[in-house]
């Protein structure tokens, strides 16, 4: 399936987007499983979020209704096998699974160590975390590997369910470990009157490579309709309107969708797209 990705990418970028063609698949609602809250990508109101809005818009462009079902990650596979979900958002080609993967990753998640530049301008390795008060997301020690777990085996380390981004500016912690857009979202929520220039923050890439995520669909027709929809969002510029809303309100970047940008509009990030590897 993956071998067809290059051919598909060339066709998608070289040909104009065709108008959606109603079919039998368009008459049924596509049920998409999402983790309950991963702000700003999936928001707590269960009706919006950057990922939610893009998936919805892609299917709307193909005249297909979509329903989002929010549940813990551990239940996705069972729900998919039982036919209760038509799509999941966190798959990869190296997983043994049923269904049809998208030809390219849809999202990208890269955690970093974030500090105030005036206090900690540089971190050279994960071992440097031993010297500081570190705040991270729940289960980070499991997710980020043994080197991270060893470096944070100290009394000034804590994990939080809701990322306390404001604690960094209030100097209640020295390092926040987070995906930058998640950090920015909660910073805007927790300290709405506090404005900090991006140059005042330092993002330290010491936690290893980020991870790409493919979407998985029950049927090939659903997968193909979604991919046509994404192509149409780029062709019409609707993807930029959706991103613009979240950039304005929460200061997010395009990094979450860097794989899609490299697929459909590589001129946005030419250096990243030259070096990016997702297989």
CATH number, domain at 177?
A: 3.40.190.10
Question: Which secondary structure element, helix H or strand E, spans residue 243, and what is its range?
Answer: helix 238-250
Say what the pLDDT of residue 208 is: 93
Say what the pLDDT of residue 27 is: 58
pTM of the model: 0.87
The whole domain housing 44 covers: 2-109+210-275
Does 124 sit behind a cis peptide bond, omega within 30 degrees of 0 on the bond before it?
A: no
Q: Mean of the pLDDT values across residues 255-259? A: 96
User: HSE (CB half, 13 Å, CA atoms) of 48?
Assistant: 6
**Count of the separate structural domains present in the chain:** 2
As a residue count, the chain comes to 279
| Domain finish residue from 169, 187, 204 | 204
User: Do 179 and 232 fall within a single domain?
Assistant: no
| Domain finish residue from 183, 204, 225 | 204
**Of 78-82, 98-102, 103-107, 216-220, the least confident:** 78-82
User: Do 7 and 74 fall within a single domain?
Assistant: yes
| Domain finish residue from 184, 204, 224 | 204
User: Do 166 and 225 fall within a single domain?
Assistant: no
- Mean of the per-residue pLDDT values for the chain? 89
């Amino acid at each position: 399936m993956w071998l067809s990705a290059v051919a598909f990418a060339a066709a998608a970028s070289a040909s104009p987007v065709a108008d959606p063609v109603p079919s039998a698949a368009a008459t049924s609602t596509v049920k998409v499983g999402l983790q309950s809250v991963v702000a700003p990508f999936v928001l707590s109101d269960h009706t919006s979020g950057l990922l939610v809005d893009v998936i919805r818009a892609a299917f709307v462009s193909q005249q297909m209704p979509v329903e989002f079902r929010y549940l813990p990650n551990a239940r996705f596979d069972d729900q998919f096998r039982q036919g209760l979900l038509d799509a999941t958002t966190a798959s990869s080609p190296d997983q043994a699974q049923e269904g049809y993967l998208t030809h390219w990753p849809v999202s990208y998640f890269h955690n970093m160590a974030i500090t105030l530049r005036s206090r900690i301008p540089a971190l050279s390795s994960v071992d440097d975390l031993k010297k500081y008060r570190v705040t991270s997301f729940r289960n980070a020690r499991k997710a980020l590997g043994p080197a991270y777990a060893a470096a944070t085996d100290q009394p000034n380390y804590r994990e939080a369910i809701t990322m306390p981004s404001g604690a960094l500016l209030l100097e209640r912690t020295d390092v926040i470990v987070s995906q930058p857009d998640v950090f920015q979202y909660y910073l805007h929520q927790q300290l709405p009157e506090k404005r900090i220039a991006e140059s005042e923050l330092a993002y330290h890439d010491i936690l290893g490579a980020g991870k790409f995520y493919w979407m998985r669909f029950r049927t090939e027709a659903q997968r193909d309709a979604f991919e046509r929809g994404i192509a149409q969002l780029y062709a019409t510029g609707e993807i930029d309107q959706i991103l613009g809303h979240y950039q304005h309100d929460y200061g997010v970047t395009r990094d979450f969708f860097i794989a899609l940008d490299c697929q459909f509009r590589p001129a946005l990030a030419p250096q990243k797209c030259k070096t990016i590897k997702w297989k």
